[in-house]
A = this chain, B = another copy of it.
């Protein structure tokens, strides 16, 4: 059922809703290159805000940015057998350049371990050089068969952290620390609650010892892996012979980690908060937290409301609010309301001649949880600090609502396979079950139900009473979270 505004409803066809919102909110558009999207200014601004917040957190945890080449010699990729196995089917290969055929083909990075490690070999000599804590903001290319804007694209933007450590404990600590940074960002900025935990071997990053992930639950009850952090052990150090001299004079392989999040998070943001009217953005990641719509009929009114709108804008900016005055000519206020609702702006301020007279503005919320008024008048005087607080509250309300929705879509303690199957057919969200630990069993459940083990959850997410049996009936070795996923 369409909502009559040219946007398919979520319940009718979530996937169509998603694609339409990406277009209508002008987040991204298609390109002439298969699987590659164009990130439009409004979508890119969300990404910039994400980058800004994450980059500050990376720097606060001691990391420095650097930049490594886009192209890797094919031979470098071949040095880490398991890693190669994982990425070979997805790589794009440069065979010609400068009008001649290359002696050795080059691979466009699908991720940068295979270019970074041969280089770190020259940078690391002694224990004094450790830890090396690097991050890179970059584009990567993975030749995907089925692509969707933000969620899975041939080229995507991401950050990839790469670190080297003296011992296993420190590498594990780093792996967990960055998983924590991701979680803090996803919950604190995206208002997207996540479950963190360990991936099973079948979902582990190629070449990693252990992969941890943040899993969000989208509004269609499918899971989204939104960020991963890998303890790479000594695998890459061994493949690229990266050793350091210990204080005692021994030469030992370094321990390493890598971790990344990508423009996929924009997809997660859309599917966590969006509704049948369009996008809903948490204030911290909204290109505009507030849009002011001046309303006028005559030229005299126009001057009056624009002047008042400008005053409110200045007041909001002084309070640290990202604000925009929509003074477009030849467009009625209703169309502007509609436009900014579709684009998910948290608060709209309507300023008409009578508001100016009353020294007041009408505040309209995009997100209205139960018990809140959609429209409330607010005195112009002191609007800045008040709306700053209002926006901060909305940020919290969005996280609370998303958490509540996830909990209501979560079922714990399922041991019966029949029950599990009907839950999945009923499009349940996260289902906590036991697991026997067998990859074959994991695969069978996936084949039967399309549901995968998202994570072996971290302690704080585990059930008070863990299931004792796997879905196959065998004794459970650990509790797992299962769901269908993007």
Question: Which A residues are closer than 8 A to B by beta carbons?
Answer: 29, 31-33, 36-41, 44-45, 47-48, 64-73, 76, 88-99, 105-106, 108, 115, 118-119, 122-123, 128, 134, 138-139, 141, 143, 145, 154-155, 157, 330
A-B contact pairs, 9 of them (CB 8 A): A32-B118, A33-B72, A88-B99, A89-B98, A89-B99, A91-B98, A92-B96, A93-B96, A95-B95
Given the known inter-chain contacts A98-B89, A119-B31, please indicate yes or no for A41 contacting B65, CB distance below 8 A.
yes
> A402 CB to closest chain B CB, in angstroms?
27
Q: Is the CB of A106 within 8 A of B41?
A: no
Q: Are B97 and A95 in contact (CB under 8 A)?
A: no
- Evaluate contact between A44 and B65: CB separation under 8 angstroms: yes
Contact A115:B31 (CB < 8 A) given known A69-B38, A70-B155, A145-B98: yes
- In the bound complex, residues from chain B placing their C-beta under 8 Å from that of A76 are 32
Q: Collect the chain B residues with CB atoms within 8 Å of residue A128's CB.
A: 330
A60 CB → nearest B CB, Å: 14
Which chain B residues border A141 with CB–CB below 8 Å?
Answer: 70-71
- Least CB distance from A116 to B in Å reads 9
- Knowing A71-B155, A115-B31 are in contact, say whether A94-B108 is a contact too (CB < 8 A): yes
Task: Give the residues in chain B near A64, CB-CB below 8 Å.
Answer: 41, 44-45
Q: Which of B29, B45, B71, B95 contacts A33 (CB 8 A)?
A: B71
* Contact between chains at B45 and A67 (CB < 8 Å): no
Also in contact, A97 and B88, with CB within 8 A (given A70-B36, A70-B141) = no
Q: With A33-B71, A36-B71, A143-B98 as given contacts, are A41 and B134 in contact (CB-CB < 8 Å)?
A: yes
Distance from A379 Cβ to chain B, minimum over Cβ atoms (Å):
31
Note all chain B residues with C-beta closer than 8 A to A99.
88-89
Which residues of the partner chain B approach A40 to less than 8 Å between Cβ atoms?
A: 66
How far, in angstroms, from A128 to B328 measured CA to CA in the complex? 10
Q: Tell me how far the C-beta of A140 lies from the nearest C-beta in chain B, rounded to whole angstroms.
A: 9
Chain B residue contacts of A39, Cβ below 8 A: 66-67
* Set of chain B residues within 8 Å of A123, measured between Cβ atoms: 29
Task: State which of B45, B93, B157 has its C-beta within 8 Å of the C-beta of A95.
Answer: B93
In the complex, chain B residues whose CB is within 8 Å of the CB of A98: 89-92, 143, 145
Q: How far is the CA of A322 from the CA of B16 in the complex (A)?
A: 49
Closest Cβ neighbor of A55 among chain B residues: B48
Q: What distance in Å separates the Cβ of A164 from its nearest Cβ neighbour in chain B? A: 13
Residue of A31, A47, A145, A154 most packed against chain B (CB within 10 A): A31
Inter-subunit contact A96/B95 (CB<8 Å): yes
Contact (Cβ within 8 A) A38 B65: no
Whether A73 and B143, one on each chain, are in contact in the complex, defined by CB atoms closer than 8 angstroms, is no
Known: A33-B69, A33-B72, A97-B143. 15 other contacts (CB 8 A): A29-B119, A31-B115, A32-B119, A38-B66, A44-B65, A69-B155, A70-B108, A70-B139, A71-B141, A71-B155, A89-B98, A93-B95, A95-B95, A108-B108, A138-B139
Query: Whose C-beta in chain B lies nearest to the C-beta of A67?
Result: B39
A115 to B71: give the CA distance in the assembly, Å.
Answer: 20
A73 and B115: CB pair below 8 A? no
Q: Is the CB of A32 within 8 A of B115?
A: yes
In the complex, the answer to whether A38 meets B119 with C-beta atoms within 8 Å is yes
Q: Is the CB of A69 within 8 A of B143?
A: no
